[in-house]
Structure 1
């Protein structure tokens, strides 16, 4: 081998060594090994059909995210998009309750997964259950004045609530709400139902079958109607009922307008006053026509029955106050011919008799057709209502009629 050829081979070997050294430098110094965190990578749940077939639902987490740390050459790491990282969790085989679910992470070529945080997902599963609930009818707003809602009807009266056990069990009641603002006619409408918890907040994530119900509600008239007491029996001998006061005096009722317009008063069931001798308050029941009822069923009417003893009393009347009627205008009565006093005996309730005075009594004589001379005439007495005249002494008086000068 000549010297020139030998030098050429040496140059080639040196060149290769230099190239290797340069490549190693570039790889290790210019494009070194590095790591990078990729936070918020969404975990894809696979085999979700299994949950449906097993009657299960994911309660939490509905959407899981993790942080992935990748290692590799800087150029490879920098070229990675978070969407290039595949994170999966297989739902197959898990049961109701809290499960520890394994995460599978697949990284792009030329890089490796250095760490995953968290390494596991606490998966809570609930069984799908169905419960039947009665639908309650609620109202909002006020009807037009003089009107009030009657008892509503819901069709169907029950609905089925389906969903995860936790949510279905949190349902306290199912309601539908009818709007009454300024309403004065009967209501027939279709309304949605709502499932509420014990804080009156709507429960989400459940199914309702059906979603709507038909509501039929009559709109009734209202009226204040006086109460009239009915009695049966008689007080104890020597006693009298002087007054019956109703509390309340009238009550507000509701019913069909065509019925209410003809009602002037409502009677009580017969109140037993047999042998009563003292005043008392008696609870009473009101007799309502068919289709009429109290607006407020908490009202408990009372009859205040006032009872007094019957007494007699003598009262002297001054004849100077005696009135004469139908006397011929030609004549006058000689007042000096009259007796000074007339005594009457009256009977009635003790309170009225004790309060009775001469000023409360009117007494007179009818002198129709009488001529001049002395006559015997009757004395007529007018008393207050419920006071009885027992006797007048004297029943007749002598008086003299004279010509008027």
Structure 2
């Protein structure tokens, strides 16, 4: 009889033989799922020729389950699985397009997460957008990253109209550790972004990178002097407010001896209304205005001077012209003195006399009796105003006596 060890050896040999038979001869079928297989969208150039562009895609990756023999499945790599969508037949609007699967021989697709993709297509446009540098990182109050040069300064963005119009600018990101105290050149990737800074995907840029020349400047806050003339010229009085300080930037050496900055002289005589005036600082070589003082403005208030003078002329009530008296009626003004205030420049009012002023009252529609009516004054003199006092008079309207009656 076989010993115990012999039986164990025989059992192992039989087990190995059975395993080899199953794997090597039978090779049973199995399935395996491959996740996040990217979908390739083909013939996009056809859309471009037709002045169309893709706005959105419902899916860009799918999960695929393959079936095949164990040995065949084990040989399949993710990049052996191809999912494609043909865009050549897409039209403006919403398109449902079939996803075509290509897999290695000896395996087949058992299932997939999606068999179609919804592709929205719009008219294609191009627009030129500015390139702006975005500095990433934390900076102290004395540090200011500065862009010396950007090449290119603008980039052409193309794609679906909704996407392109949402692009505010194209950004090149620079990190703090890339900056130096001397000017240095960087090559930065470009991304289209909207007003909030979010990346706009699905558009094409005429340039994918930009050459950026940057430098890390120091900042310094100093006093600002603003010379002003013309505060009280041209019949106006002007008051203003200006910033007391300005923040400038440059190398530590260039900023060392600066304790104040003088702005260009502002002539206020040409301003006749309230407003804001841009100040223009005169800067030493190698010194720039910091972003902290980007908008240096003077707040201006303008008031018209009142240089007018007044003189008074006296009239009798008999000088009042009574107009609009009814038929067969006559009127008289109660006896009292009337004064007229004449207002204007000293030169103008000196020329005005009583003969240049007319006083009148309108009696149109008044019947017999006593009435209080408005007293009017007018003048032929230019640039003068006249005002009577009192501004009403008492008149008496009576019927005319019949000139043909006997006494």
TM-score normalised by L of structure 2? 0.38
Mark the structure with the bigger radius of gyration.
1
TM-score normalised by L of structure 1? 0.39
